[in-house]
Structure 1
């Protein structure tokens, strides 16, 4: 049974709801659809499932892009209503005929909807009956077909459809077995001039010409000479390298303790002692890149305008130029899916070359197609430029955070409540969680925020020592309990210690774990459930493409499945690392934001403590579409 049908504008004004149904929806499925699907460019999907507040609904929708209207039908998830798609199409067509932008009340549409609904339900019943009444093929007829096929079996094989050994004399021997593996002889067609056998030899026709063996011998001699000279050169270069490189002496345990500490501390590249190292490093770091206002270069805009100007000039050599130019001048009545397909395919390929996951690129193109289909193409406008403009708007909408990501404001709000602001860093192995935790700590320090680190990576050897080194260089207190401890308990004790010491922020370092490692994911879920942090930050590499989708989706899924809470905490934000190594392959940022719905809060772009930036949405979008 249909629960509700609504018609509203893209601006959010509800024009009509079905009063005949009169069913009050549990929860807020329409708001969730708009927030989680339509605003996040997932409108190309066939349907949306809503499960909350003890209710389970399926929502289907369609657009009238020329009028800017949205039609949504809601029904119980357990039901499979076959007539909903057809009903939406009929309602869309009928409502468009009476729509007036100046009107806001359409009570006269109730009777029209009642007739349309009866008609759609009647058609669905007829389709069900026709499927049930459909006559199956009789067994006698099947037997006759089998016998007929059996009589002709001397000319055709059972699986491959090739001639058998006892069939046509002109056919080449060889048959595919039932498991798809050949019997040793290559099977070729009658028209082919090449006959292959099991040992891979080929008999070619005489018109291909003979091969000169002398040329091959001469080439092989030249190749051997070059190889010999190359090996001699490489040996000489290796010998010279060995002479030049001199290994420095290491100081081991038999040396005095003062010498041992100064020599074995390799964190200082200038070779100064450990005591002076803290002051020198703190003085040389400078201002964090997070506080620099990054202006998007106007040069790239100027270059883009030049390219657009070049593209707008007609090229008479191109086929069909006059017709496409005439179409762009005159405009087109309504855009159809066939008009959008070439531009969308080119756009999808471009996004994939920028490291956007294939699944995400396809969904984005589907969403853009749904938002443009049926829309009128303006005069002096190309389909490709219209599609690109729609995609640019979609990308900006996705990458722009839908909530505040001002951590400093949240820190001061938590300080007023006399509790520390807790940030948990999670992610897979080797992405740079500890290093970027130190960058965030340094940035907070510059804003007069007292920070404490919590070494909750009790799994990986050397993790505590690594964090201790960062803490010593930044002169930040660290809470540690060693290895093989419960990280949830360590984090809880660190938060209690921060309350006593008056620390404003606690940065919790966790062990790297793959998304499929259930014991470690269970431990992470326990840590988040017990300590209820203010921010769960996923640290991911900008180098990954399709794997970003798998990592984030499975992290969120595991956190939801393994949490004992009915409302589990998921990932709140993303820290993207190694952003300086990818050139223009910035698609991982889009893939991560799209699959999780969480914003990119920090971007790591180097190895020093100052190399932490905000995500420039405009720059990312321009790079993706360039």
Structure 2
């Protein structure tokens, strides 16, 4: 879920790190350190940890062990190789002697020269082999040491379960300060990527400005600082965007129940967003919480709409109020509210006909339903994977009928996350629920902290981010 946004945020951190490291390298202001580089997503879980303590306690002893083991193994290998070489040399020398003394007296000096040449080649070859063996051992030792002490960027993909990468940790000889020139191009790229990810223009601009204000002026000592500062700058920007205040539907049900009244909720949106299915999910959700919902089949225009909502009501086991096809939808909503009051039911869920936000006549009909039923909540149901379309639809419905909240369906299939990030901020109304599957139980109350965890953690677990 929201994988596209996660990648965009992590790339922003990587690009800023590259920018500062390249500049420091050109200024001869860079040195590589031993230790672990934290990945972008690790800071949501490791905010209070001190990397220096981890290096001293865990990494240095491990380095000594690696070094000692390497030297021991290499020494044994060299001894074994030397013994083998000496044995071979002795055998060859004996063979040479035998061949030499058994030669006939008629062999001329050229044969002697040839023998001497062979001897010379043999001993030179042995020396070369010894030298090669020593060089190989030396290279292996250097490589072993390098594996721990001089890890480079090519090994940064080796990331442990706790979010640490085993290389690429740098520090600056002279402290660096993030300047506007360092982030200008990087944040422009981020803004373009957010727009491509279906994030609304005003939201993308707000995120970029917030990140810029947070980063410029930060003083950097180590490359880990760059990653950490970028992580929290982005997280704070997103948190501000998605934290729209509002009461939960459950709280409102309890308030209305204390007054002896049902909570009346009217659902609006265009066809095909999963509005009717969402009503079935909410009826099931609150039924399991101990409340008694009733559904109003106020979509009397679309063929099969009454049958569809009746099917959902029967499946979850709640009462449905319906009239004949083509009847007045406002009258159906009114009857459902009266039924809930008479029967002491706590929740009325009003289904309405899906309509395009540009259809003036149908929008007027929806206003009539609202006027007659007097709902406590008007909720827009949008399809998360439609991105900017869902945001624009919510804006139009809000202008026409003043909606109170949003439910986004198909959030589990939304890799971009544009609508989830944008829709509440654009209309300044809270997201109340997310549809996360096709079953009746696949719905969850929206929590901004959960959203942050989805965007700023490297797994699918619900990780608590510390304040």
Aligned equivalent of 2:440: 609
Deviation at 1:427, TM superposition (A): 1.0
Q: Distance in 2 between matches of 1:619 and 1:367?
A: 21
Q: Distance in 2 between matches of 1:516 and 1:457?
A: 18
Aligned equivalent of 1:341: 184
Using a 3 Å threshold, how does the CA distance of structure 1 residues 304 and 538 change in structure 2: closer, same or farther? farther
Q: Confirm whether residue 554 of structure 1 aligns to residue 396 of structure 2.
A: yes
The match for 1:305 among 145, 148, 163 is 163
Write out the 4+ residue segments of structure 1 that deviate beyond 6 Å after TM superposition.
Answer: none
**For 1:508, what is the secondary structure of its paired residue?**
strand
Aligned pairs for 1:202-213 within 5 A: none
Aligned equivalent of 1:508: 350
Aligned equivalent of 1:579: 411
CA RMSD of aligned residues (A): 2.7
Q: Distance in 2 between matches of 1:377 and 1:521?
A: 55
Q: Distance in 2 between matches of 1:529 and 1:372?
A: 49
Q: Confirm whether residue 472 of structure 1 aligns to residue 314 of structure 2.
A: yes
The match for 1:455 among 286, 291, 297 is 297
The match for 2:175 among 325, 330, 350 is 330
Using a 3 Å threshold, how does the CA distance of structure 1 residues 524 and 372 change in structure 2: closer, same or farther? farther
Which string of whole-angstrom CA distances, capped at 9 and with x for unpartnered residues, describes residues 392-422 of structure 1? 11212322342332x2232122112111111
The match for 1:590 among 417, 421, 432 is 421
Tell whether the 8 Å contact from 1:458 to 1:485 is kept in structure 2 after alignment: yes
Aligned equivalent of 2:93: none
Which string of whole-angstrom CA distances, capped at 9 and with x for unpartnered residues, describes residues 21-66 of structure 1? xxxxxxxxxxxxxxxxxxxxxxxxxxxxxxxxxxxxxxxxxxxxxx
Aligned pairs for 1:198-597 within 5 A: 305-306=163-164, 310=167, 312-314=168-170, 326=172, 330-332=175-177, 336-352=179-195, 354-370=197-213, 372=215, 375-380=217-222, 385-405=228-248, 407-559=249-401, 570-582=402-414, 584-597=415-428
**For 1:506, what is the secondary structure of its paired residue?**
strand
The structure showing larger relative contact order (alpha-carbon pairs under 8 Å, at least 6 residues apart) is 2
Which string of whole-angstrom CA distances, capped at 9 and with x for unpartnered residues, describes residues 212-238 of structure 1? xxxxxxxxxxxxxxxxxxxxxxxxxxx
Using a 3 Å threshold, how does the CA distance of structure 1 residues 345 and 600 change in structure 2: closer, same or farther? same
Q: Distance in 1 between matches of 2:161 and 2:193?
A: 19
**For 1:539, what is the secondary structure of its paired residue?**
strand
Deviation at 1:384, TM superposition (A): 6.4
Deviation at 1:619, TM superposition (A): 5.2
Using a 3 Å threshold, how does the CA distance of structure 1 residues 390 and 529 change in structure 2: closer, same or farther? farther
Using a 3 Å threshold, how does the CA distance of structure 1 residues 590 and 551 change in structure 2: closer, same or farther? same
Tell whether the 8 Å contact from 1:450 to 1:505 is kept in structure 2 after alignment: yes
Q: Which has the higher helix share?
A: 2
**For 2:441, what is the secondary structure of its paired residue?**
coil
Which string of whole-angstrom CA distances, capped at 9 and with x for unpartnered residues, describes residues 218-259 of structure 1? xxxxxxxxxxxxxxxxxxxxxxxxxxxxxxxxxxxxxxxxxx
**For 2:164, what is the secondary structure of its paired residue?**
helix
Q: Unpaired runs of 5+ in structure 2? A: 1-158, 459-467
**For 2:266, what is the secondary structure of its paired residue?**
strand
Residues paired across the two proteins, number:
298
Q: Distance in 2 between matches of 1:546 and 1:433?
A: 18
Tell whether the 8 Å contact from 1:548 to 1:591 is kept in structure 2 after alignment: no
**For 2:433, what is the secondary structure of its paired residue?**
strand
Q: Distance in 1 between matches of 2:416 and 2:238?
A: 15
Tell whether the 8 Å contact from 1:431 to 1:540 is kept in structure 2 after alignment: yes
Please tell me whether Structure 1 or Structure 2 has the larger radius of gyration of its CA atoms.
Answer: 2
Tell whether the 8 Å contact from 2:268 to 2:381 is kept in structure 1 after alignment: yes
- State the TM-score, normalized to the length of structure 1: 0.44
Which string of whole-angstrom CA distances, capped at 9 and with x for unpartnered residues, describes residues 273-326 of structure 1? xxxxxxxxxxxxxxxxxxxxxxxxxxxx9758235x65x524xxxxxxxxxx53
**For 1:603, what is the secondary structure of its paired residue?**
strand
Q: Distance in 2 between matches of 1:430 and 1:512?
A: 8
Using a 3 Å threshold, how does the CA distance of structure 1 residues 495 and 362 change in structure 2: closer, same or farther? same
Q: Which moved more, 1:445-454 or 1:520-529?
A: 520-529
Deviation at 1:468, TM superposition (A): 1.1
